[in-house]
């Protein structure tokens, strides 16, 4: 059987009230990157638009409804390979949210904590897609 790349979608959520981005620490139920820090995100489902995936995953993981968000852009992407032989292409969707929006831990086995951080203050270790994003799109850092 041929290996096929998987597609992930990550949300880069900016809160202008905090002047910060939303990141979470991955929990024990995550297949890859346990304990690392990442943007909210998940796997793109069959026949799902990446923007719809972003809205769905963000609400499932943080409780933040789409009404609290305004889309800024789509398009940055990274490609990562893992020791288990999987290959993920992660598409990023950038959003602004209403000032001082709160993120809740909706899936405690998948996310241990949500935190608002400036890009240069995101705790380490970083999940591979986040590390690749920060390396490739460093100009987004405030």
Instruction: Provide the pLDDT for residue 65.
Output: 95
Domain ranges of the chain: 6-140
Q: Which of 8-17, 29-38, 75-84, 130-139 has the lowest mean pLDDT?
A: 130-139
Structure token digits, residue 100: 């001082």
Average pLDDT, the chain: 91
| CATH, domain range 6-140 | 3.90.79.10
Of 58, 66, 140, 73, the residue nearest 103 (C-alpha): 58
Instruction: Provide the pLDDT for residue 142.
Output: 44
Residue 13 binned pLDDT confidence (cut-offs 50, 70, 90): very high
Cα–Cα dist 82/32, whole Å = 8
Q: Report which DSSP code applies to 141.
A: -
The residues with which 126 forms a beta bridge, in sequence order, are 37
Instruction: Provide the pLDDT for residue 71.
Output: 86
State yes or no: pLDDT of 137 exceeds 80: no
- Taking residues 127-134, report their average pLDDT: 95
Q: Evaluate the CA torsion angle 61, 17, 51, 115 in order and state its sign.
A: negative
What's the pLDDT tens digit per position in 56-101? 999 999 999 999 999 888 878 999 998 888 999 999 999 999 999 9
The separation between CA 2 and the C-alpha centre of its own chain, rounded to angstroms, equals: 28
Which one is predicted more confidently, 7 or 29?
A: 7
């Amino acid at each position: 059987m041929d290996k096929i790349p998987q597609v992930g979608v990550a949300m880069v959520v900016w809160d202008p009230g905090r002047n910060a981005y939303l990141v979470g620490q991955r929990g024990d139920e995550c297949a890859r990157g346990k304990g690392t820090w990442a943007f909210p995100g998940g796997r793109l489902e069959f026949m799902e638009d990446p923007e719809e995936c972003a809205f769905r995953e963000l609400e499932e993981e943080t409780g933040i409804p789409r009404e609290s968000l305004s889309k800024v852009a789509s398009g940055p992407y990274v490609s990562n390979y893992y020791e288990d032989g999987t290959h993920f292409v992660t598409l990023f969707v950038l959003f602004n949210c209403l000032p001082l929006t709160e993120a809740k831990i909706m899936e405690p086995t998948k996310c241990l904590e949500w935190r608002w951080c400036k890009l240069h203050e995101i705790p380490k270790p970083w999940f591979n897609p986040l590390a690749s994003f920060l390396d490739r799109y460093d100009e987004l850092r405030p």
